[in-house]
A and B are shown apart, each in its own frame.
Chain A
Amino acid sequence: MLEEIADNDILYRRIPNVHIYEDGTVKSVAFQVRGKPDNSISVELARLTTPQEFLAGARNPDTTKVGVLVAGYARSLGFLIRHDPLQDNPAHCLIEGENNKVKCKLLAEATTILTLPE
């Protein structure tokens, strides 16, 4: 069943350490894929997963962090957000729409790195 994504829903995106500044903020390139700003950004709906589960799906969990983004902010930049469940990943969602470097920068600035308990 498809979930409605509310403005206050939390979305997770995997952020590799090489896309995190020393002060813990996120680089704009975290939202670039396939050589250009990504028009279809993979994220997961926080209420359908856990940070630990989400991170376990990373190729290199030891060098990856959980980035947290509020759905309403992405919408405020003109993106659409839809639930796109996959067979092995029911929390999967897509942030879709025309993207550019400026929007990548704004998305990155709005993304917070989640600190997980040891």
Chain B
Amino acid sequence: MSQATLTDVSLDPILERLTQLTKLESDWDSYGALPVSPVAFVKACQLLIDVKYALSALVGDRLLPSDVAPIADGSLQLEWRSPHGNLEVEIKPDMSFSYLLIKGEGNERKFEEKNEVSLSEVLNVVSQLLIP
């Protein structure tokens, strides 16, 4: 099986999903949610590009998040799943990051929660998940 190259992995589908989320109007969750912040959107796109450049040659299309979601304060969440665990990365309107890393299964699950982390820390934890 040939290894994916940088240009093989398209971010277009995931960027399209993020773009769709920016169209949500205020109170989209019925509990007073804010629209997705343009700052969070741009920062999420930048994170995806950085992940692609750092990992595409190593993991191919596994670098693509399995899910994206809006958060009520205008933040965005990107989620990665691998056989080694799940990672939820939150991109906030103030450009900060936080994450929840879940490893293991059932009662053996281990949770690692970190707030106010840097982009390089996020790239590191994504790498850890996808390249154990």
**Which residues of A does B touch, CB under 8 Å?**
14, 16, 18-19, 21, 27-30, 32-36, 42, 57-60, 64, 100-102, 105
Contacts and interface: CB of A to CB of B under 8 A. Distances in A.
B67 A57 contact: no
Contacts of A102: 100, 111, 113
B31 A101 contact: no
Q: Is the interface of A mostly helix, strand, loop or mixed?
A: mixed
B56 interface: no
Interface residues of B, number: 27
A42 B29 CA distance: 12
Interface of B: 21, 24, 27-33, 67, 69-75, 77, 79, 88, 92-93, 98, 100, 102, 111, 113
A89 B111 CA distance: 37
Contacts of B31: 14, 33, 42
